[in-house]
Amino acid sequence: MTGTDGEAGTREHGRTETEEERADRMWGELIQEVRVAQTGVQILFGFLLTVVFTPRFPRLDQTEHTIYIVTIVLAAAATGALIGPVSLHRIVSGRRVKPQAVRFASWLTFTGLVLLLATLASALLLVLRVATHDEYVPWLVAGVVAWYLACWFVLPLWTRRRYTTD
For the chain, the structural domain boundaries read 19-134
Quick: pLDDT tens for 116-155: 999 999 999 999 999 998 999 999 999 999 999 999 999 9
Q: What's the whole-number mean pLDDT along residues 17-32? A: 91
What's 2's DSSP letter? -
pTM attached to this predicted model:
0.86
Quick: pLDDT tens for 78-115: 999 999 999 999 999 889 999 999 999 999 999 999 99
Return the sign of the alpha-carbon dihedral for residues 23, 24, 29, 35: positive
